[in-house]
């Protein structure tokens, strides 16, 4: 099997799996319970918060961690609280940013401004220099609020909250070897009063996210926090190899974006002659798995608003493949994939003649 869909979800890291298995059996108490078992788990969860902040070079006196069930929930919790603000965002961003932001107030100098930034775009792989941008935005407008979606960059690229110019940050466990069902919203302590809960019925997470904390998922994800960032050089080499190998077939493949300022973990590829959904089905038969779009927008047919916002010609929207890799991706997988893809596309092209 070859899995090139890591931007959608990643396999569990071995340390995460071992911790999750143990915690599911033993950490069954409610961390909000007043007895010793509950208090012990609450203490371990608070330690996980500190470990997470340390991995982001964030001061625990300045920032706090709210555990959620997904990056989508984290983004919605933050943006839902900006209903009466002007949100500045890009339609190329993840739907969990675009859709709620589109419902906020448009324009108006008398209203507060929220800038929504995606560190690494989940479709194109574009990397934004978030620290540089946030510093410039704060210089121009010190009262603006800056939120960053770092779901695709956490534990792949350096992230630092040392400067304090970023007000909040979204992270996702299953994008970096952790389990599905747990994520986080990091927010400045002095900004938490601006948050409005999405639902009600408990005082968990300071009343901002009522729900019993999923202790095993949080403690399993914690195993990732202290791991060193992987060397991106091997992934960059694989990305470049595929670009060069497939570029030899100029009539069959097209790359909408150059590698500069883009994550080597993501490679967007267009197949102008054959619809991407057909290619995906044929690759499945060879046990090769990738996406024809980002997983959260995979049901879109025809004109894709994300592709449009990225500047991809509409005639190519049904012909886009997204390859996404991990630090475990190998050269042999890349070579086998390239040979298989070329053979499939050439065969389908002959059948269409």
Torsion of CA 184, 187, 192, 198, to 10 degrees: -30
φ, ψ for residue 16, nearest 5 deg = -65, -45
CB 309 within 8 A of CB 91: yes
Instruction: Tell me what pLDDT residue 250 has.
Output: 74
Please give the Cα distance from 17 to 51 (Å, whole number).
19
Query: Mean pLDDT for each consecutive 10-residue tract of the chain (353 residues)?
Result: 98 98 97 96 98 97 97 96 86 94 66 89 96 96 96 98 97 98 97 89 87 96 97 98 91 91 97 94 97 60 83 93 97 98 92 66
Instruction: Tell me what pLDDT residue 201 has.
Output: 85
**Domains detected in the chain:** 14-225 (3.40.640.10), 230-352 (3.90.1150.10)
Please give the Cα distance from 75 to 34 (Å, whole number).
31
Question: Read out DSSP for 30-88?
Answer: -TT-SSHHHHHHHHHHHHHHHHHHHHTT--TTTEEEEEES-HHHHHHHHHHTTTTSEEE
Instruction: Tell me what pLDDT residue 300 has.
Output: 54
Against a cut of 0.75, is the pTM above it?
A: yes
Pairing of strands 183-188, 168-172: antiparallel
Please give the Cα distance from 35 to 224 (Å, whole number).
29
CB 178 within 8 A of CB 221: yes
CB 218 within 8 A of CB 52: no
Instruction: Tell me what pLDDT residue 113 has.
Output: 87
CA 191 to chain centre: 23
Burial tier of 197 (Cβ tally within 10 Å: 0-12, 13-18, 19+) = middle
Please give the Cα distance from 96 to 225 (Å, whole number).
24
Instruction: Tell me what pLDDT residue 110 has.
Output: 45
Instruction: Tell me what pLDDT residue 295 has.
Output: 43
Q: Which residue do the tokens 């299953």 mark?
A: 174
Q: Which residue do the tokens 């979800």 mark?
A: 9
């Amino acid at each position: 099997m070859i899995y090139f869909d890591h931007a959608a979800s990643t396999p569990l890291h071995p340390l995460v799996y071992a911790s999750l298995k143990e915690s599911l059996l033993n950490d069954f108490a409610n961390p909000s319970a007043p007895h010793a078992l509950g208090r012990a788990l609450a203490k371990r969860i608070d330690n996980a918060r500190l470990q997470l902040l340390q991995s982001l070079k964030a001061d625990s006196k300045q920032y706090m961690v709210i555990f959620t069930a997904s990056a989508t929930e984290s983004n919605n919790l933050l943006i839902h609280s900006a209903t009466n603000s002007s949100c500045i965002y890009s339609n190329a961003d993840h739907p969990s940013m675009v859709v709620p932001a589109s419902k906020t107030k448009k324009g108006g100098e008398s209203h507060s401004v929220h800038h929504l930034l995606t560190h690494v775009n989940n479709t194109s792989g574009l990397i934004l220099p978030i620290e540089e941008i946030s510093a410039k935005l704060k210089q121009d407008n010190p009262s603006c609020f800056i939120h960053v979606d770092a779901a695709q960059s956490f534990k792949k690229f350096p992230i630092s909250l040392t400067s304090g110019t970023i007000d909040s940050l979204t992270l996702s466990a299953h994008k970096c070897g952790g389990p599905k069902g747990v994520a986080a919203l990091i927010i400045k302590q002095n900004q938490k009063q601006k948050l409005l809960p999405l639902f009600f019925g408990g005082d968990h997470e300071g009343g901002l996210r009522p729900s019993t904390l999923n202790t095993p998922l949080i403690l399993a994800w914690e195993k990732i926090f202290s791991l060193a960032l992987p060397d991106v050089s091997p992934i960059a080499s694989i990305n470049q190899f595929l670009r060069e190998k497939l570029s030899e077939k100029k009539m069959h493949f097209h790359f909408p974006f150059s590698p500069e300022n883009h994550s080597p973990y993501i490679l967007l590829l267009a197949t102008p002659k054959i619809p991407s959904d057909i290619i995906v089905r044929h690759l499945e038969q060879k046990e090769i798995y990738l996406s024809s779009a980002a997983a959260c927008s995979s049901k879109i047919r025809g004109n894709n608003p994300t592709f449009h916002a990225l500047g991809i010609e509409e005639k190519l929207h049904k012909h886009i493949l997204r390859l996404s890799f991990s630090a475990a991706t190998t050269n042999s997988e890349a070579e086998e994939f390239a040979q298989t893809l070329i053979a499939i596309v050439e065969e389908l092209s002959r059948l269409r003649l």
